[in-house]
């Protein structure tokens, strides 16, 4: 396979980069939102992405289908149509005013590989599906009670009971159920019928994604083989309730200041987290939202209420649970000391995911055969690959070097690095 790949397929992937780059450019132009791009989950921008990918798939004569949640499948029929299928893909939604490559790169790379397969006259044994997945960026578009990754979880049968109704779409100001129905899909089938995707009928899942941190850039590598995906514990709707009062007339000892209480809470939480890191634990944490109500609070008022979030991630369940307990203990102590109430609400949680060991080894073998110097690395962000792996599907991920991080307009993946990653993906698809 290595010799055939090097001679036939590698050149065809180089050629496919022209079509891939054109799609990236057109996608950015059509979904631009100020300095970045916005493709709302189950919204217009996400649909534009799906339509553009479908158009390329139709150019290649692929079979097209859409599931009950609106996920798009573009299928190259294999030699044995009864065999379990191999799936590659990623999501087409973005965070608000985000970058053009987070998610979309995984779908575009899959289509580029299919174009190369056709050009090099390579036909896998099983059907190969390129999947454009809905609503991966659940943390950006949804509040309320939900587990994220709604598009993939919906068709893998992983949604919680009533989750379609408890997940609230902040952009459309409706439940997920209503938003999916408004988009023309079938939330009743999601809730009441057998899951659309049967894991036993999936041979493997491989997802290409830009790295969302600086490691590959710092190491001077174009490609990373992902070992696992951190789990999380999240405070989505944290609140500090104090007491509004006059900022000039109220002595410090009488104040119940929500801002100072929130600040102390986050500072003490950071101290615990830094100690965990010093002890060699795997951990990142982020208070992404912290605000008062500008319609109520003011320069001369003691603040009576603060809203905040707290996101903690680790590959280690015990570390996640220890940090959750620390947050609860600190909240209790500060509440008692300052006369406020720190309400962390209900934590959302996801389990750490170790990606399939054999698929990791197969990817390393492919990198070696292709002459690509890759490193093994964990993913700090969540991905749909975790949902497939949790359902027993042998799942893998390839990361692409990307300057300036992700979830911002400055994502800076180069087409040269994208080409390297696409060749690794092609290896995984061709040797499945």
Q: How many other β-carbons are positioned within 10 Å of the β-carbon of residue 158?
A: 17
Distances (CA, A) of 287 to 98, 263, 328: 19, 11, 15
Residues 6+ apart with CB under 8 A from 111: 20, 23, 53, 56, 57, 60, 74, 130
Q: Domains of the chain: which residue ranges?
A: 2-229+353-430, 231-350
Look at residue 6 in the predicted model and tell me its pLDDT. Answer: 63
Instruction: Write down the pTM of the prediction.
Output: 0.86
* 160 and 142 Cβ atoms separated by less than 8 Å: no
Return the C-alpha torsion angle 100, 103, 107, 113, nearest 10.
90
Please tell me if the domain spanning 2-229+353-430 has the same topology as the one spanning 231-350.
Answer: no
CATH code for 231-350? 3.30.70.360
* pLDDT tens per residue across span 129-186: 999 999 999 989 998 889 899 999 999 999 999 999 999 999 999 999 999 999 999 9
How far, in Å, CA of 206 to CA of 395, rounded?
Answer: 6
Look at residue 5 in the predicted model and tell me its pLDDT. Answer: 63
Read off the tokens for 258: 């929500």
Report the chain's C-alpha Rg in angstroms.
23
Look at residue 255 in the predicted model and tell me its pLDDT. Answer: 97
Read off the tokens for 336: 């008692």
Look at residue 39 in the predicted model and tell me its pLDDT. Answer: 98
User: Which residue positions in the chain have pLDDT lower than 70?
Assistant: 1-6
Read off the tokens for 280: 């060699």
Dihedral sign of CA atoms 412, 417, 419, 420 in order: negative
**CATH architecture of the domain formed by 2-229+353-430:** 3-Layer(aba) Sandwich (3.40)
């Amino acid at each position: 396979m290595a010799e055939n790949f090097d001679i036939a397929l590698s050149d065809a992937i180089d050629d496919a980069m022209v079509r891939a780059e054109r799609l990236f450019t057109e996608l950015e132009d059509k979904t631009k939102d100020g300095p970045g791009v916005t493709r709302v989950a189950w919204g217009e921008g996400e649909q534009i992405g799906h339509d553009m990918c479908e158009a390329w798939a139709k150019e290649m004569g692929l079979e097209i289908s859409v599931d009950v949640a609106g996920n798009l499948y573009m299928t190259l029929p294999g030699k044995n149509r009864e065999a379990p299928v191999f799936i590659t893909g990623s999501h087409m939604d973005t965070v608000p005013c985000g970058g053009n490559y987070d998610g979309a790169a995984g779908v575009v790379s899959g289509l580029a590989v299919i174009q190369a397969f056709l050009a090099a006259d390579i036909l896998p044994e099983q059907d190969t599906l390129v999947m454009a997945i809905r609503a991966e960026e659940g943390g950006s578009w949804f509040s309320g009670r939900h587990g994220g990754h709604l598009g993939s979880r919906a068709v893998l049968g992983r949604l919680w009971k009533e989750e379609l109704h408890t997940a609230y779409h902040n952009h459309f100001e409706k439940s997920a159920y209503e938003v999916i129905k408004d988009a023309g899909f079938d939330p009743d089938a999601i809730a009441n019928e057998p899951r659309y995707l049967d894991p036993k009928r999936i041979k493997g899942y491989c997802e290409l994604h830009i790295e969302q941190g600086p490691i590959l850039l710092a190491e001077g590598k174009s490609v990373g083989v992902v070992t696992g995906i951190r789990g999380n514990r999240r405070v989505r709707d944290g609140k500090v309730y104090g007491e509004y009062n006059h900022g000039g007339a109220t002595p410090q000892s009488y104040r119940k200041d929500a801002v100072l209480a929130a600040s102390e809470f986050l500072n003490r939480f950071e101290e615990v987290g830094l100690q965990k890191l010093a002890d060699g634990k795997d951990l990142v944490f982020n208070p992404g939202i912290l605000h008062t109500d500008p319609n109520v609070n003011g320069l001369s008022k003691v603040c009576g209420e603060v809203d905040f979030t707290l996101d903690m991630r680790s590959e280690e369940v015990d570390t996640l649970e220890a940090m959750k307990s620390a947050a609860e203990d600190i909240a209790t102590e500060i509440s008692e000391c300052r006369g406020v109430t720190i309400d962390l609400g209900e934590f959302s949680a996801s389990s750490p995911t170790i990606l399939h060991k054999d698929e990791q080894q197969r990817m390393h073998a492919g990198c070696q055969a292709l002459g690509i110097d890759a490193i093994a690395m964990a993913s700090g962000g969540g991905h749909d690959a975790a949902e497939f792996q949790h359902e027993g599907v042998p799942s893998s991920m390839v990361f692409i070097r990307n300057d300036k991080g992700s979830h911002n307009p400055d994502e800076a993946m180069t087409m040269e690095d994208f080409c390297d990653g696409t060749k690794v993906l092609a290896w995984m698809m061709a040797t499945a």
